[in-house]
Structure 1
Amino acid sequence: MRELDDIDTVGIVGAGTMGHGIAQVAALDGYDVVLRDVEDELVESGLSGIHESLDRFVTRGDLSEAEADDARERVTGTTDLADLADADLVVEAIVEDMDVKQSVFADLDDTVAEDVVLATNTSTLSITSIASATDCPELVVGLHFMNPVPLMEGVEVVVGEKTDPAVASLAHDFAESLGKSTWESDDKPGFVTNRILMPWLAEGIRAYDEGVAEKPDIDRGMTLGTNVPMGPLELADHIGLDICLDAMETLHAELGDRYQPPYLLKRKVEAGDLGKKTGRGFYEYGD
């Protein structure tokens, strides 16, 4: 297994919101990054997301133009998984679908060197099950970044049934090298964050649906009453209502009725109102 000092190139599978966010912070920390997705349009969208985010950091004075340019030059986009063959560590950040993830991990197992750690950014799915698709389950670990990756400090390290302790340690070290702070969870449904967060979001949605209070009062009550930065309705919009629903349905299947998704959440997802990314969720958003 490679040590942190051996990691020069990081492969990212999935150029969506989480994938290009992870690519951005890795590039800013000096890693060369290969960002892969299945279509050119998705890769270009991910690269554009990185460039726009870096531009915002420059405008705010958090980065110099030279630092942003250096980070941009460190990221290469591709649709060919074979371009990750020389990666020293790979982070997968694709759709939350077990079959798809297992297929990708089986392909990665055939692509990268035999001592390369394969990490998954899954927020709810079993690390052990994902790892079972490979010949090296001891090298598979969860690296659950929080959204938005460039702004959020936390990363959850999730240890599967066969994850080598040294791999878990490397996962902590890698995340901390990106300026993040970590905590560790066993491979139980929802891990630490979503096991606790999803019922909180669901109860906020039910409180609104049942007329306990109006949306701004629910969010204001929780931000002022518990000192969190966002209330449950605003945070659900920020995460994406479809993502929240997927997480709740996974936890409901694993842990029972205490994780049953609210009807109102299902209705909004069916209507295509997915939160901030679509311009409408529990609140409406501009460009």
Structure 2
Amino acid sequence: MTIYGHGIRTLGVLGSGQMGLGIAYVAALRAKVPVLLHDRSSAQIQKGLALMDRLLEKDVAKGKIKAEEAKEARDRVSVVPPEKGMSGLQDVDMVIEAVSESLPLKQAIFGSLAADLPPSTILASNTSSISITKIAASTIPEGHSASSKEGLQSPSRVVGLHFFNPVPVMKLVELISGLQTSQETMERAKAFAMACGKEVTSSQDVPGFVSNALLMPFINEAIMCLEKGIATRDDIDKTLKLGMNHPMGPLQLADFIGLDTCLAIQQTLYQGTGDSKYRPSILLERMVDAQWLGKKSGKGFYDYSDA
């Protein structure tokens, strides 16, 4: 079997929120590759870069890296401004998409990436639940069938690279192949994740993959326990922290993930399987309706207004 190196000389990251910024951070610091960061919001880009500066300063202060390493990593990150669009990623060897968990949004993005970028560019998604096969199919050029040369080539470079939050801390990347993904794409994507300092596990392209097919029903069941009055918020989280040695309880974890993200993943699981065990709790839906999204909005199951 052929063993491929990652061959990524320049990385594009699409989305400068918490996940995209974290991916840019480990790519620049650990894999030591230039990163082009793109977002449709200039304000979000500035917010993300400010976070990167704080993370690097914290790592220097803790003695994890030297000041020179931090400067070199920061200098590797450049911005593709919103007005330039995705065509500003022309020179990258791989793009990692890290936007909201919406299939139509990802399909539109990957269709544009496939049309705008060279055919050798790997197109990776950081999705935590959406089918890589569906995303890959959106890259088939208009007017071509899935069985044509063009219809086979473009989807073959699409792969799932699911980083975990917070990316600079969490050691895992989940690697997912769509039906169309080539072995070369898989091996290069895995090699790049390892160059970023990550351990890599593989999952089949099923709703939620391994991680969220297990995690989200667990979180949803905890929310249902709260909804039914079986136990209080604090007792639910304390039971899992002290009884099962989890680093944080499921309700606090949901707040950190984002309740809108949890709901989107639950809906993907439910719609993708038709299994009632994945049906989102009413309380989760209502909290998202109220814009109580967890830590990022200042309120979820816990109050973060002073955080």
Does 2:238 match 1:220?
Answer: yes
Which structure 2 residue ranges, 5 or more long, are not aligned? Answer: 141-153
Q: Match for residue 106 of structure 1?
A: 111
- Partner amino acid, structure 2, of 1:281: G
Does 2:38 match 1:19?
Answer: no
> What is the CA-CA distance between 1:206 and the residue it aligns to?
1.2
> What is the CA-CA distance between 1:106 and the residue it aligns to?
1.5
> What is the CA-CA distance between 1:162 and the residue it aligns to?
0.8
Q: For the Cα contact (< 8 Å) 1:19–1:93, is it kept in 2?
A: yes
Q: Match for residue 75 of structure 1?
A: 77
Q: Match for residue 148 of structure 2?
A: none
Match of 1:57 among 56, 59, 62: 59
Fraction of identical pairs, as percent: 43
Q: Match for residue 126 of structure 2?
A: 121
Q: Match for residue 207 of structure 1?
A: 225
- Report the number of matched residues: 287
CA distance in 2, matches of 1:221, 1:263: 23
CA distance in 2, matches of 1:64, 1:215: 42
- Partner amino acid, structure 1, of 2:160: G
- The TM-score normalised by the length of structure 2 is 0.89
CA distance in 1, matches of 2:228, 2:102: 32
Does 2:147 match 1:142?
Answer: no
Runs of 4+ in structure 1 displaced over 4 angstroms? none
Give me the CA root mean square deviation: 1.7
Q: Match for residue 250 of structure 2?
A: 232
- Partner amino acid, structure 1, of 2:87: A
> What is the CA-CA distance between 1:155 and the residue it aligns to?
0.6
Q: For the Cα contact (< 8 Å) 1:189–1:195, is it kept in 2?
A: yes
- Partner amino acid, structure 1, of 2:169: L
CA distance in 2, matches of 1:25, 1:90: 14
- Partner amino acid, structure 2, of 1:138: S
> What is the CA-CA distance between 1:5 and the residue it aligns to?
5.2
Match of 1:265 among 277, 284, 287: 284
Q: Match for residue 278 of structure 1?
A: 297
CA distance in 2, matches of 1:177, 1:215: 40
> What is the CA-CA distance between 1:226 and the residue it aligns to?
2.3
CA distance in 2, matches of 1:6, 1:240: 34
